[in-house]
């Protein structure tokens, strides 16, 4: 029975060892998912090697690209959340900016003594 494999790759993985293990498996498809840019080169080498031995058996998953796209789309929401949080009165009727400015000023003045 053939199976699909999702292989999550980091830069520390050993390409020859992984290739040997993958080729020993009865696989329908191997999805190669690098978790960072450095692992992308490893995934590309494995993809090429697997497809040379078993054409159409490997496919790259663009995890890094998808992660960056999602992070970029959420960036505006995150910035607004942090700004709004800093404006809310949370501690003794003061917002975070007012509270921490006083704390910072007090610590700064103590260190000058």
Instruction: Tell me the pLDDT tens digit for each residue of 46-97.
Output: 999 999 998 989 999 998 888 888 888 888 888 888 888 878 887 788 887 7
Distance CA 2, CA 82 (A): 49
CB 56 within 8 A of CB 26: no
Confidence band of 27 (pLDDT split at 50, 70, 90): confident
Same domain? For 53 and 10 the reply is yes
Confidence band of 29 (pLDDT split at 50, 70, 90): very high
Q: Does residue 100 have a pLDDT over 90? A: no
Same domain? For 37 and 83 the reply is no
* Element of type H or E holding 89: strand 89-91
Tell me which residue range forms the domain holding 22. 3-61
* Listed residues 61, 77, 93: the one ending a domain: 61
Residues 6+ positions from 46 with CB-CB distance below 8 Å: 7, 9, 15, 18, 19, 22, 32, 58
Backbone angles phi, psi at 29, to 5 degrees: -150, 140
Distance CA 53, CA 94 (A): 66
Q: What is the reported pTM?
A: 0.59
Backbone angles phi, psi at 8, to 5 degrees: -90, 120
Confidence band of 14 (pLDDT split at 50, 70, 90): confident
Residues 6+ positions from 40 with CB-CB distance below 8 Å: 34, 64
Number of domains in the chain: 2
The reported pLDDT for the residue numbered 113 is 55
The reported pLDDT for the residue numbered 1 is 65
């Amino acid at each position: 029975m053939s199976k699909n494999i999702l292989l999550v790759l980091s830069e520390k993985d050993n390409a020859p060892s992984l290739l040997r293990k993958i080729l020993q498996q009865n696989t329908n498809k191997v999805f190669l998912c690098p978790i960072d840019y450095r692992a992308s080169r490893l995934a590309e080498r494995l993809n090429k090697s697997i497809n040379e031995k078993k054409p159409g058996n490997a496919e790259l998953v663009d995890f890094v690209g998808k992660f960056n796209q999602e992070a970029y789309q959420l960036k505006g929401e995150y910035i607004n959340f942090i700004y709004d949080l800093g404006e809310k009165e949370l501690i003794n009727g003061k917002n975070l900016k007012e509270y921490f400015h006083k704390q910072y000023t007090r610590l700064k003045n103590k260190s000058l003594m």
